[in-house]
Structure 1
Amino acid sequence: MLISILLPTRENPNGLLRAISSINNNSFFKKKIEIIIGYDEDDIVTHNFLKKKIISKVLIKIKKLKRREGYYDLAWRYHNLAKAGNGNYNLIFNDDMTIKSKNWDLTFQKEINFLPSDNIYLSYPSHNQKNKNWPISFFLSKEWIKETKKIANSFETDTEIYVISKLLKRCYKLKKIKIHHHKKQQNIQRKFIIENKLLHPKSILNMKNFFLMLKDYALLKAKINKNSVYFINKMKIKFFFIFYIILIYKHTKINYFRVLIMNFLKKNYN
């Protein structure tokens, strides 16, 4: 089994090196792990850093990406990095994170033996942030990505995948695997949206992305329940979307009734 660690970065060579070192120092099957680094074509700092020889027993692949909308295209970035890798599982990671658990990959292989054999589920490491039961980094199988043809629809990738997995009743916290988030300064683009109370079209709070998320849920549910039909699942969502809003609130405390109102009241991000 191969694990691809998807690692987008921007102008943070110290954090990137720290992340790579933690992967090297704490991995058991180093030849069964690959790190896929993605950086923007206008990121000279990272470009110059990657010219230097990085000592790593874990295979490193480098993918240069278009800048596009930066942070708001995070889901697109992760999907492009996943396509560049060959992993059976993808670990969604960041340049401000480190792996703290020794032999985490060996632990992961043991843990998934008890999870659904179709590999359609969310599993995520424990972490040091306050929201202990919410993923900030997570494992996603190639089967999940093949079925949805994406990582996520919105830049809040962790939230979106978490919601879908809760609806599927296939969300698993890996308590024996720990990561540390070093809490670098809040992303400037995200901070701008919050402070100005704007609604971005690529946010999970956009109702279009809400329905795209439920569409992916319907796809995955049909795959899990082989006697289930995607078209019927999709029609159920359209006719009973209020039920799904209630269900999402029950499992995640995300209030899509409030989000629905917000879509009419909030100013759109231009």
Structure 2
Amino acid sequence: MDEHLRDAAWQGCIDALHSLMQMDVTEKERIKRMDERLTHAAKQGSIGALYALIQEDANVLDRIDKISFVETPLHIAAFEGHIWFTTEIVKLKPSFARKLNQDGFSPMHLALQKLHELENNPDLQRNQAQLVDRLLDVDSDIVCVPGREGVTPFHYVAQMGHLDLLTKFSEGCPKAYEDVTIRSENVLHVALKYDKVEAFRLLLRWIQQACFKDALSWEMKLLRWKDEEHNTLLHIAVSKNQHKASPFHSIFLELV
């Protein structure tokens, strides 16, 4: 219990209680205005406005960090394509990079969604790709953050069929290959199910060339993995008439 509220209760002072209640309402209004200004700063990509808010209230970012599911300034800036603001805020609060908003998406998920939306605008798409690279530089493991329905940024990139990012994500976080959605789909399943044959080939080639301890057993585990409907990669490829999706036909034969 707040010290002032406890004193008012002990003294039985109703006026003091009402005064404290009014102060509480005023504080909530102040915080609401601060949050609105922070949202505006993120949408505008204004680093100056961000620090002006921090100078007014040093806990402005900490309050957001305490909420389990919330749209952080990083979510907003990542979607809006503000590279410098994104870089600044993620350095101040690295934990924001792993936060999910109320829709179940991390900042990287939103950055990738915007990248996909900009496919017909090369200049803006190039800028957005740089933003994705910045997030990846800060923490390569964020490609493994499971969002809505267990879909990670790595799964989403496979769904998009973005070959360049698939390569970067593979190199930055190989363990992302083991992540599965709530339907028990690994990244290879996702690529095939969304008819991204070239993406599937790239992923399979990367697995084939992986060089680390137990790489072979890891490879076979991924290739033989079954989704919730007990479909292996071969089952999916055959059902979609994609049995030629891989140049490694012998591998598919081993999965029968």
Structure showing the higher helix proportion among its residues: 2
Whether TM exceeds 0.5 here: the answer is no
Bigger radius of gyration among the two: 2
| Higher RCO (Cα < 8 Å, 6 or more apart) | 1
Instruction: Tell me the TM-score normalised to structure 1 length.
Output: 0.27
Structure showing the higher strand proportion among its residues: 1
